[in-house]
């Protein structure tokens, strides 16, 4: 019988957020280090860094120059170095487009219902940051999703519909109401919260603390209390 405690991790993030991908890797390392003592359930929630990007996207360099100036690439060197430390090959100068991610959050919502959300999240982020493909092309997205058994017709049909739109909007509104204005943002068992791509040791410490708390709860039995209500 499996008695390992279950720890739920809710992650608010965007697939075009580089620190979200780095944070994902660091979280996964912490999970790998602690999975022998805990069962971890990770659920991703939607956040849009820039919902104003049109559906057809904008050339990445043009979009970044508009936000950060002509020397935008220099600003991303630190991010590229941090990514490299997590075995992620970022190259911002060669990203084709800045994209609107709303449709991909709908795909992730549907993927959660199918039990493949974590894998789809990784595939979409890898396609954007590592493979550097144009995710505004429906055929490209269909190719990414084909590895999960999705027929091209299913993927394109979802992209051209508004399926799961209400659910995504509701979640984004909820987390905005919670005061989350930057990502990644991690919530552990609805008890502890961490913002930013923290070192994996930070996540590991939280997992260990929660596991200890759950162990104490698990071995609690009948007792007398100071009010005398139970004796």
User: What would the pLDDT profile of 15-46 be if each residue is shown by its tens digit?
Assistant: 999 999 999 999 999 999 887 778 899 999 99
What mean pLDDT is predicted for residues 89-107?
97
The pLDDT mean for the chain works out to 92
The answer to whether residue 29 sits within a structural domain is: yes
Q: What is the pLDDT of residues 192-223, one digit of tens each?
A: 999 999 999 999 999 999 998 987 665 545 55
**Residues counted in the chain:** 231
The answer to whether residue 94 sits within a structural domain is: no
The answer to whether residue 91 sits within a structural domain is: no
pLDDT at 104 over 90: yes
Q: Which of 113, 135, 111, 131 is nearest to 121 (CA)?
A: 111
Task: State which residues form the domain around 200.
Answer: 6-50+102-219
The answer to whether residue 74 sits within a structural domain is: no
Confidence band for 5, pLDDT divided at 50, 70 and 90? confident
Confidence band for 169, pLDDT divided at 50, 70 and 90? very high
pLDDT at 76 over 70: yes
Question: What CATH number does the domain containing 13 carry?
Answer: 3.40.30.10
pLDDT at 150 over 60: yes
The answer to whether residue 138 sits within a structural domain is: yes
The answer to whether residue 55 sits within a structural domain is: no
Q: What is the pTM of this model?
A: 0.91
Quickly list DSSP for 15-81: TT-HHHHHHHHHHHHHHHHHTTT-EEEEEEEE--S-TTS-TT-EEHHHHHHHHH-TTHHHHTHHHHH
Quickly list DSSP for 21-37: HHHHHHHHHHHHHHTTT
The answer to whether residue 75 sits within a structural domain is: no
Domain count, the chain: 1
The answer to whether residue 226 sits within a structural domain is: no
């Amino acid at each position: 019988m499996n008695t390992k405690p279950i720890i739920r991790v809710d992650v608010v993030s965007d697939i075009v957020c580089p620190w979200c991908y780095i944070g994902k890797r660091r979280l996964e390392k912490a999970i790998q280090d602690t999975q022998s003592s805990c069962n971890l359930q990770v659920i991703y929630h939607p956040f849009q860094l820039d919902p104003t990007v049109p559906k057809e996207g904008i050339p990445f360099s043009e979009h970044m120059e508009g936000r950060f100036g002509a020397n935008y690439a220099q600003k991303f060197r630190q991010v590229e170095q941090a990514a490299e430390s997590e075995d992620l090959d970022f190259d911002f100068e060669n990203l084709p487009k800045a994209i609107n991610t709303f449709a991909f959050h709908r795909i992730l919502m549907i993927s959660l219902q199918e039990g493949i959300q974590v894998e789809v999240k990784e595939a979409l982020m890898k396609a954007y940051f590592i493979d550097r493909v144009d995710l505004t092309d429906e055929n490209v997205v269909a190719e990414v999703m084909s590895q999960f058994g999705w027929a091209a017709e299913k993927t394109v049909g979802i992209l051209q519909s508004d399926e799961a739109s209400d659910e995504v909007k509701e979640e984004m509104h909820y987390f905005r109401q919670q005061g989350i204005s930057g990502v990644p943002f991690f919530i552990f068992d609805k008890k502890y919260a961490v913002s930013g791509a923290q070192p994996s040791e930070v996540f590991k410490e939280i997992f260990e603390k929660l596991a200890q708390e759950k162990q104490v709860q698990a071995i609690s039995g009948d007792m007398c209390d100071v009010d005398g209500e139970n004796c």
